Amino acid sequence: MTDPSRTIVVYGGGFAGHLVAAACARSLGGAARLILIASDQAGREDVLYGNASAPTAYDFFRSVGLDEPTLMMQTGSAFSYGTQFTHWPGAPSSWMQAYHLPLPVLFGVPFQHFLTAEKEKLEPYLVSAQAALKGAFAHPPEDPKNPLSRAEYGYQFSISDLTHALVRLNDQREVTIIETGVRDVHTSGGQIASLVLEDGQQVEADLFVDCSGADRRLIRALDVAFHVERTLCATHEIQSAGQLGPPRRTIAATQHGWSASTPLQTSVETLTITHPDSASAERGASHTFETGTLERAWAGNCVAVGHAAWGIEPLTAAPMILVQRDVERLLDLIPLSRDNTVEAREYNRRFEDDLAHANAFQRALFATDALPSTPYWQAAAAVPPGEKLERKLAQFRSRGIFVRFDLEPFNEEDWAILHNGMGLMPERYDRQVDGVEAEALGRQLTGIKQAVAQIVSKMPPHHVYMSNMKRYLEKQKHG
């Protein structure tokens, strides 16, 4: 039933192009002929994938052929408990936007209600947040009685090193790599008929994957509009570091935007985002980019992946989550024949949901009246929050509950941590809390905090854990 003559052409030599090629090669086996046109670099905007991935990256990278040992040994990546936001407008203090498993249910009542009733902060209860702040790391153990088992982690990485690792993978696999540039895109009846290369060669395919970044070379040829939300300015710097820093990114808000600093094994990467009108944007090797979304990511026989389909600020792991979801959606829906109506419709439905949900999460960072009056912050505030976010915010503010939608990229814990970080305090808490005896509750809450503090005090610094692990992996390889 499978058509072995199926050809997939991936266009784009940056991170997204190599990721799609690697994922297809691994996942489809010999079920499709893969061609990667890697001549055109996806461009400077690859740094906008950011330096952070969510806990789902463990399985995802492994599924494309980059397991954790490979990441650590070959890409200089580090572990990440999340992002610390400092000086963020509207937030009462800095907070650790950490990854965590579901929060405890005490006496049959969700945890948030006790925080509301006791007017307490969430952070001391989060083992991943506390370890991140201390700069310590250890893998979560399987034993559910160990408080560290509640921690989750993602990775901190350099997008160019990650891309190089994918390039090496693709070199070893059945991917035809073409280094010649594309001169022309031929379309016919809303489909891409062929690509004409610089040397005159024509390339035809059943499916074209546009990974050309903001250029959108293929999907643009099909007249699919990109709805621009904001224009921003990015500056990317790399400094070498003698020692691996903490397992967290730090984002510091400034008058004109924000700056993220990410510790990697031998360097620290800094990404600064401002508004193009800000004076600070003029300095250095900065470039402008647009946030927004394609009206549809799959049109005819062409699917746009990554920055070709969307632009989003790398404030959280959202860009990596989205590119991962792009790939998963694509693999779930590789068309079986020339008629891909069903696949395109379903792809676009999921795409719209994912984008809306990821945008809602990041938009919540600007849901405060305390934003500076400078262009960056005002432009962010001008983006409508949308009905879903409004419902989420209203219900949390009103009674500390979480409105959820199907298969969101950010889970309930992410939202709980975000709301708490932004200083939202629900007006009410669950009435059942009043039935809990104060002393018993106090004992429970203190117990959790102490257990967290105790385990964190025993955890090794991130750099020590990393070098021990690498030594162990090295030994295993040779042993």
Q: Which of 108, 144, 189, 384 binds another protein (CB under 8 A)?
A: 108
Alpha-carbon distances of 169 from 165, 175, 414, rounded to whole Å: 6, 10, 33
Q: Is 266 in the site for another protein (CB under 8 A)?
A: no
Minimum CB distance to another protein, residue 264 (Å)? 29
**Among residues 389, 383, 76, 34, which one has the least CA distance to residue 240?**
76
Q: Is 106 in the site for another protein (CB under 8 A)?
A: no
Residue closer to another protein (CB basis): 381 or 401: 401
Q: Is 432 in the site for another protein (CB under 8 A)?
A: yes
Q: Which of 7, 28, 118, 374 binds another protein (CB under 8 A)?
A: 28
Task: Classify 262 as helix, strand or coil.
Answer: strand
Q: Is 7 left (phi over 0), alpha (psi -120 to 50) or beta?
A: beta
Q: Judged by CB under 8 A, which stretch of 125-133, 141-149, 315-323, 393-401 contacts another protein?
A: 393-401
Quick one: DSSP state of residue 277?
A: T
CA distance 412 to 111: 12
Scan residues 33-52 and list those touching another protein (CB under 8 A): none
Q: Is 389 in the site for another protein (CB under 8 A)?
A: no
Q: Judged by CB under 8 A, which stretch of 207-215, 293-301, 345-353, 376-384 contacts another protein?
A: 345-353
Q: Is 473 in the site for another protein (CB under 8 A)?
A: no
Q: Which of 181, 190, 435, 447 binds another protein (CB under 8 A)?
A: 435
Q: Which of 9, 148, 333, 459 binds another protein (CB under 8 A)?
A: 333
Residues touching another protein, count (CB under 8 A): 39
Task: Classify 311 as helix, strand or coil.
Answer: strand
Residue closer to another protein (CB basis): 403 or 464: 403
Using an 8 Å Cβ cutoff, are 65 and 22 in contact?
A: yes
Q: Is 63 in the site for another protein (CB under 8 A)?
A: yes
- Reading the block at residue 205, the tokens are 């395919």
Amino acid at 13: G
CA distance 385 to 362: 10
CA distance 52 to 82: 8
Using an 8 Å Cβ cutoff, are 195 and 35 in contact?
A: no
Q: Is 354 in the site for another protein (CB under 8 A)?
A: no
- Reading the block at residue 148, the tokens are 């560290």
Can you give the binding site for another protein, defined by CB under 8 A?
A: 1-2, 6, 27-32, 63, 108, 331-334, 336-337, 342-343, 345-346, 349, 391, 394-395, 398-399, 401, 403-407, 428, 430-432, 434-435
